[in-house]
Amino acid sequence: MPLASIALAAAERISILHSGFPDRTPIHVLIDALRALGHENGKSAEIEVLGGEGDVNRLSTLVNGLVSKKPDVTIALTSPAVVALKKAGMVTPVVFAFVTDPVELGIVASFANPGGNFTGITYSEATLGGKRLDLLLDALPGTRRVAVMWSRAFPGHAAIYEAIRQAAQVRGVEVFSRELEGTQDLLPAFDYVKKSGAQALIFNSDNLMFGRRKEIAALALSHHLPSIHSFSPEVEDGGFMAYGPDLGEGYRRAAALADRILKGARPADLPVEEPTQFSLGINLRTAKELGITIPPMFLARADQVIE
């Protein structure tokens, strides 16, 4: 057998599973982080990137394949991917990222003592929903009625909406919900919230919606609805604002956990980590098109300003 074939046969097997469209995300940050730690595809490692593309059946097929192949470590991105692996009885190590509440979802026993073969990085708590409402109101003084778009099918969204609702009571504003039934429901949803008197919008993205972020930003603009989102690419693609944990940090820390496992650590002994870096992004081009003047003191709080 050629030396190259022998080396490849002995390579670490790393599978990356995203329930949506990995090529529409900054997945290269994760690949680069793995390479920096010595896990380079085609050399020291065999790395495959799999995307469920928002299709439950496709995700199930990919998960069943991973359960059979038993990679040395699987990096599962977003809640649906992690939940599917758990339900399928995955027995090899799994590092997750971008999961809002892994304890509530039954993925781990606790943050400090995960137990089993799953550990990872959370996407912080559902209370971020309330923080996004606060930021939206601070940027838009006088706003009294806010719509929330979300999908009940995406794990964690119901808890985020509840956090928004509680924050609205504290701030003395009205929020109302419009649940999304799929991408075909986007235009009717925007028409509905505008006709219902919404002055602004909190948009909770999922895998399908994240891939349509430019369309969503355009709909928000055409309906004159300043919107706040969860992920920085959403504001980069035209959303008014975005606030959430730094995506790059999540990818890099997931790579670091995978590295520790590949070097012999057990997932059960690696506590679940929480984000430490958060980013507020503001798109001034969108603000200008909406006729919004952002208070200077608020603009100074932004980590990312798109002009």
CA 35 – CA 29 distance, rounded (Å): 10
Listed residue (268, 269, 266, 273) closest to 115, CA to CA = 268
Cβ atoms of 124 and 103 closer than 8 Å: no
pLDDT in tens, 27-61: 999 999 999 999 999 999 999 999 999 899 999 99
* For the chain, domain boundaries: 3-123+246-276, 128-245+279-306
Fold match between domain 3-123+246-276 and domain 128-245+279-306: yes
Q: DSSP secondary-structure letter at 271?
A: P
pTM: 0.84
pLDDT in tens, 194-250: 999 999 999 998 878 888 999 999 999 999 999 999 989 999 999 999 999 998 999
Tokens 């895998």 belong to which residue? 207
In CATH terms, is domain 3-123+246-276 a member of 3.40.50.2300? Answer: yes
CA 298 – CA 137 distance, rounded (Å): 11
**What does the pLDDT read at residue 195?**
98
**What does the pLDDT read at residue 5?**
40
Cβ atoms of 73 and 47 closer than 8 Å: no
pLDDT in tens, 97-143: 999 889 988 999 999 999 999 999 998 767 889 999 999 999 999 99
Query: What is the DSSP track for 15-68?
Result: EEEESS-GGGTTHHHHHHHHHHTT--BTTTEEEEEEE-TT-HHHHHHHHHHHHH
> What is the third-level CATH fold of 128-245+279-306?
Rossmann fold (3.40.50)
Residue type, 21: F
